[in-house]
A = this chain, B = another copy of it.
């Protein structure tokens, strides 16, 4: 992650929308164990999150922004994990819309969907980092 050409934040947010890799299978398994009563699984998850937070913090230089970035990554992952399994039971024929059907809703009113690109989020993070840096410089 630290070796990623575009930096840790770019790497973390882009990989958080992918749940088909071997890593994600392991991560999901550890998450499920941690949801049970396995303190070591939970400790392993905490250690992984701390390492990610530290790498992000080194890039953005602000603990609150780093926390927000890691939470956004967790949110992206939660959404991606939710819809990673294929809709195996055929097209929905009953009442109510199936979420994977059309995407005709007005874009501005839609919640995040898995697989969506994260360029706008990365731009926002860069702006926030610049904003916080400018304030720090003002203070000197």
Contact = CB atoms under 8 A, between A and B. Distances in A.
Interface of A: 31, 34-37, 39-40, 42-46, 49-50, 52-54, 57, 63-65, 67-68, 70-79, 81-83, 85, 87-89, 92, 94, 96-100, 105, 107-112, 120-121, 123-124, 127-128, 131
Contacts of A120: 64, 67
10 pairs of A and B residues whose beta carbons are closest in the complex: A71-B75, A49-B111, A74-B75, A39-B98, A75-B75, A53-B111, A46-B99, A71-B72, A39-B92, A64-B120
Chain A interface, DSSP helix/strand/loop, else mixed: helix
A99 B42 contact: yes
A121 B64 contact: yes
Contact of A74 (B79, B100, B110): B79
